[in-house]
Amino acid sequence: MIAAPALFLLIMAVVQYGLVAHARNVAEAAAQEAVASAGSFDAKADDGHASATAALDNLGPKMLTSRAVNVERTPTTVTVTVTGKALSFIPGFSPQINETASGPVERYVAPEADSS
């Protein structure tokens, strides 16, 4: 008699784990897309934000709720953080997703003078 509810709860936990893992992958991919976009030569932080939003819409439009994208671009690095709540299969449980990616900014560096 107890086996059926326990088995059902186990199946729900496995499905929830899969949803959280997929939501993390979607957030990480969106953050990496934003780094590539915002890190391009003459790009702006807004380019990265638009790229991350488009990636989230394409990869999993309903995987992350209450999502937010934060892009910080310095002269040498870009850091993007994507946050949100994963889609929940278990009532009352909404895991927080927080994925960060960073990379260098493409920039022109003058060649060194040949000293020979």
Residue 99: Cβ-neighbour burial (10 angstroms; 0-12, 13-18, 19+): buried
Determine the topology of domain 3-104 in CATH.
Pantoate--beta-alanine Ligase; Chain: A,domain 2 (3.30.1300)
Contacts of 64 (CB under 8 A, 6+ apart): 23, 26, 27, 56, 82, 84, 85, 86, 87, 97
* Mean pLDDT of the chain, nearest integer: 90
* Spatial CA neighbour of 101 closest among 83, 82, 84: 82
Distance CA 27, CA 81 (A): 9
- pTM for the whole thing? 0.84
Distance CA 66, CA 46 (A): 19
pLDDT digits (tens, 9 = 90+) for 35-65: 999 999 988 999 999 999 999 999 888 888 8
